[in-house]
Chain A
Amino acid sequence: MSALLRPKPFLEPQYCKGCLRCIEACPRHCITPGTTLNSATGLVPVELHLENCNGCSLCLQACPEPYGLRLETDRPGPEGDFVLEDPAKLFGEKCVPNHSEGDLPDDRIPLPACEPMVLKGTYAAAIGALLAGCRHVFGYPITPSTEGAELMARILPKLNGSFVQAVSEVAAVNMMYGAGGAGLPCMTFTSSPGFSLMLEGISYMIGAEVPGVFVNIMRGGPGLGNIAPEQADIKLACRGLGHGNTRAIILAPSTPQEMLDLTAEAFALSFRYRNPVVILGDGYLGQMTGTVRLPAVMVRPGLPAWAVWGDRAHQHNLISSIALEENDLEAHNEHLNRKYAAIAACEQRVDSHLCRDAEVLVIACNTPARMAKGAVQAARERGVKAGLFRPITLWPFPIDALVEFMSGVSRIVVVEAGPGQLEDELRLALSHAGIAPPPLTHVRRCGGNLPQQSEILAGILGTKEVRS
């Protein structure tokens, strides 16, 4: 373009911060430091003398403000609005497929009937995720969860999906933040120390309302602990998901079948509430092989309207957890609190066994709930009216169902392969519900030991605990 025809710059003085970077940039010395303080900004904008300007636009490249120095051709129209040219006119229609406004719904695809499978818990969770439409898995190897990631690493490339072994759990959870922020179902397999590392990212995901599924196969702690099963992350998951006002649905499966069913369900919950969901399994459950029946449908995920997908329909979307102004952040927390309240009202899940007439109520989850079930049956054979109350959601704790069973209960026995974190959840739930608990005892083992049926039976019968 001829220098004479090139557009010259103009400046709206209130958008100039007076940094003077443009002055040195101009080869024709058309810009001088200002002399008048701008009353709107309290700053002194530069002054333009464009007699010698040849429209080189080097001053624009020096200006740090988007609405600082601009070209005359970009000057706002007479109505004071900015007239933007339609990019389609300039560049033609984009090849990127555009989705219509609103959510693109999931497809539910019927599955043929299959033979029951014989699967270990981590594999069952992986297959549950595949059937729920997950094609993006990010992880870092850690015993005893790694087999789930290994299976995904074998299968996903053949489904044009992605398994990425990240440089750390910290990176893995942030890859989930990206893929989840793009609106797709994604997950990780981890175990206690790795889950600790992911908490920062989980807090960001909750703050930015990004879905994602975490399968945490809990192991013995604190510190390096060991690789044996322990229910030692209940506190972390229910009370400590990183900094800030965080909550997530915490699911506690007790069989390989539930590893599949609850993992698949976790994706639906995660997108329904735009919030991470955590599966807490124990080391036994991760490694244990058992019968698993497949569901009747699988999911091809759609795309939510809020996704930062990278196309025109989603161009104005933002995934963010920053709200600089106090009122904005307070409003965001109130929004989160309403969501948590809705979850607490709608998503309590429990499995109860012989609870209707129970006088001694045994409360246990994960693998210890299986031993507890055996102990309850053995107690019934001895004439003791025992029942098993197995929370499937640890948060929200299924307090509504518990209250229903409480009228005849004279004693509660909390059974844990851990240091008492389930009992704390129970006590908090009772307290929030305004219920004074009946006498409450517990059977606890930790370090990788599980409470055995005989110990639990002794706990139910109120006899001296015997470690056989």
Chain B
Amino acid sequence: MSAFYDHFSRHSHGEGLKAHSTHYCPGCGHGVAHRDLAAAIDELGIQDRTVLISPVGCAVFAHYYFDVGNSQAAHGRAPAVALGHKLAHPEAIVISYQGDGDLASIGLAETISIAQMGLPLTVIFINNAVYGMTGGQLAPTSLMGQRTTTSPTGRTAAMGQPLRMAELIAQLDGPVYVERVALFSARERVKARKAIKQAITHQIEGRGYSFVEIIAECPTHLKMTPQEAEQWVKTAMEPVYPLGVKKDLTVEPWFKPGAPIFDPEAVLGLSGAEPRRDDEAHDVPPWPAHLPARDIAIKLAGSGGDGAQTAALLLTRAAIAEGYDATNIPSYGPESRGGTSYADVHIAEREVLNPAASEPYVLIAFNAPSLAKFGGTVPAGGLILYDSTVITTPPALPKNRRVIPVPFTRIATDLGRPMVKNVVALGALQAALNLLPEGSVPATLHHVLKDKPALLPLNEAAFAAGRAAVEATLVSA
């Protein structure tokens, strides 16, 4: 009896008889199942490792009685809480003890999804075909024709037909052991006790998820004596909820998670952090005097796959590496592929204050819709670069903007890889804007491609070709 507290001090502060009696009605199946569970915990010697989850329902007060770690959960959420406990401490034996409203109605999503995950947890499901704690309402497992306070003339098909949870759980791939048992006779009670022990053993051995459905008596809400209720479970419930082992897989123990790692090198490495490079320390270059502001907004716009996002990120990294402040905000349409894709980059001498670019000083347009959409947002004196390979007839653009058509795609194609057109565009930007030092973007390319050195010459060539293309137009102008 040691799995029960020797004094139920949480039950009405353990005053009087409540120190040793439950809140359950006379003859309640929960009480029988509690003794079975306590016996299993005792026999398996797991009392100090056990965490019992008791969600809303009549068993919400299980923590009054069981001298184990206890967590009381919201209605239907016990398996999710159980999973949290198991993943936090895999050595703990986590048992979720749920009623039919909890498990088969409000918590159905948690019940099925967590059973299918298959982690070693044990779910004890008390199916007594009626809501107990709220006072006798229709349960998902109420029988056809059963009168409850919310099915006063009897359950009809339109109210939903009884859910056979053990069969439902057994057909999932996650669980290793599923059995339905009953409490209405000595013979069935022996089997119930064995099933609970078996289910917990599967968890102790790390074999997987186990589920025991117990069809049980609720004499109070069936409006029967305990003996009548036992008979009703036997004659009315059992035909709907046939007893027996529904699933019992032979699975080798597999659940042996390692201890979480707190090694700084591992954490930093996986986070993408790099050790400080003292040798490269340099002063922040003076902000170019030819620029009209100390914060320059650059919008890169195209369709998905044009590489606008990658180019924006390269530009941001390059500016930050120089010691400027820079931000990049990507924006996509709802399409997962294709569709619109643009990025707002800001580069500021000290601090970016307005990270959006609703009026960008520079627009780099990779396609005609982007040029049409954003061309008009560039203020007077601003710069527009566009891919003249794909935009053969540009829309009318406002006056007093520097508009430089550059065949990004053709240049990239000539280099053998059309996809480097975005780096061609960055080269063009370098020549046209002259914001960052000349070697800045190439150095960033060098850095981001350090694990793919084969791609570096192509990208360097693309950057140089983009620059050259704009420099040629500047000379010719």
Contacts and interface: CB of A to CB of B under 8 A. Distances in A.
Contact of A289 (B71, B73, B327): B327
Given A136-B88, A170-B77, A20 B259 contact: no
Contacts of A12: 20
| Most chain A C-beta atoms within 10 Å of own C-beta, residue among B2, B83, B351, B354 | B354
Contact of B260 (A160, A177, A312): A160
Interface string A248-274: 000000000000000000000000000
Contacts of A407: none
Interface string A134-145: 011010000000
Interface in B74-130: 74, 77, 80-89, 91-94, 109-110, 112-114, 117
Contacts of A63: 31-32, 35
B306 to A, nearest CB: 18
A27 interface: yes
B355 A61 contact: no
Contacts of A183: 88
A284 interface: yes
Interface in A364-383: 367, 370-371, 373-374, 377
Interface string B164-199: 000000000000000000000110011001000000
Interface in B219-272: 219, 225-227, 230, 257-262, 264, 266-268, 270-272
A146 interface: no
A70 B6 CA distance: 13
A1 to B, nearest CB: 15
Interface string A277-309: 000000010011111001000101000000011
A208 B72 contact: yes
Contact of A175 (B80, B92, B189, B327): B80
Interface in A171-222: 171-172, 174-184, 186, 200-201, 204, 208
Nearest to B355: A288
B4 interface: yes
A343 interface: no
Nearest to A128: B271
A342 interface: no
| Most chain B C-beta atoms within 10 Å of own C-beta, residue among A64, A96, A322 | A64
B34 A66 contact: yes
Contact of B22 (A64, A107, A138, A324): A64
B84 A160 contact: no
Given A64-B29, A200-B74, A308 B261 contact: no
Given A170-B77, A318-B10, A112 B275 contact: yes
A208 B93 CA distance: 21
Contact of B69 (A41, A131, A315): A315
B271 A164 contact: no
A115 B273 contact: yes
B329 interface: yes
Nearest to B117: A164
A175 B81 contact: yes
B113 A311 contact: no
B186 A294 contact: no
Interface string B189-215: 110010000000000000000000000
A181 B78 CA distance: 13
Given A174-B110, A298-B264, A370-B355, A160 B257 contact: yes
Interface string A395-409: 000000000000000
A367 B355 contact: yes
Contact of B20 (A15, A164, A184, A298): A15
A21 B110 contact: no
B89 A310 contact: yes
Interface in A329-371: 367, 370-371
Contacts of A468: 359
B186 A65 contact: no
A40 interface: yes
B299 interface: no
A18 interface: yes
A182 B36 contact: no
Interface stretch (B45-53, B154-162, B467-475): B45-53
Contact of A64 (B17, B34, B355): B34
A153 interface: no
Given A181-B85, A288-B329, A14 B72 contact: no
A116 interface: yes
B303 interface: no
B464 interface: no
Given A64-B29, A159-B260, A174-B73, A84 B6 contact: yes
B392 interface: no
Interface in B256-311: 257-262, 264, 266-268, 270-277
A87 B81 contact: no
Given A164-B83, A178-B81, A66 B22 contact: yes
A15 B21 contact: yes
Chain B interface helix/strand/loop/mixed: mixed
Interface in B332-364: 351-356, 358-359
A136 B257 CA distance: 13
B60 interface: yes
A66 B65 contact: yes
Given A61-B35, A66-B38, A288-B355, A315 B48 contact: yes
B81 A177 contact: yes
Interface in A75-101: 81-82, 84-85, 87, 90-91, 94-96
B22 A177 contact: no
Contact of A371 (B26, B38, B327, B353): B353
B142 interface: no
A431 interface: no
Interface stretch (B312-320, B365-373, B423-431): B312-320
B27 A61 contact: no
B190 A61 contact: yes
Contacts of A166: 80, 113
B197 to A, nearest CB: 13
B73 A177 contact: yes
B212 to A, nearest CB: 15
B477 interface: no
Contact of A159 (B10, B267, B313): B267
Given A17-B27, A96-B91, A162-B87, A318 B32 contact: no
B189 A62 contact: yes
Contacts of B72: 208, 318-322
B1 interface: yes
B273 A294 contact: yes
A181 to B, nearest CB: 5
Contacts of A161: 260-261
B26 A309 contact: no
B87 A179 contact: yes
Contacts of B225: 20
B69 A114 contact: no
A27 B110 CA distance: 42
Nearest to A310: B92
Contacts of B421: none
A317 B69 contact: yes
A118 interface: yes
Contacts of A74: 1
Given A181-B84, A319-B72, A24 B227 contact: yes
B68 A315 contact: yes
A460 B226 CA distance: 76
A374 B227 CA distance: 79
Nearest to B259: A160
A-B complex: 10 closest residue pairs judged by Cβ atoms = A178-B84, A64-B31, A310-B92, A19-B27, A374-B353, A182-B88, A174-B80, A167-B113, A17-B26, A91-B45
7 contacts: A12-B20, A66-B35, A113-B275, A117-B272, A117-B273, A159-B266, A288-B355
Given A116-B320, A201-B74, 12 more contacts: A20-B227, A58-B189, A61-B193, A87-B48, A158-B270, A170-B77, A182-B84, A310-B50, A310-B85, A315-B68, A371-B353, A373-B351
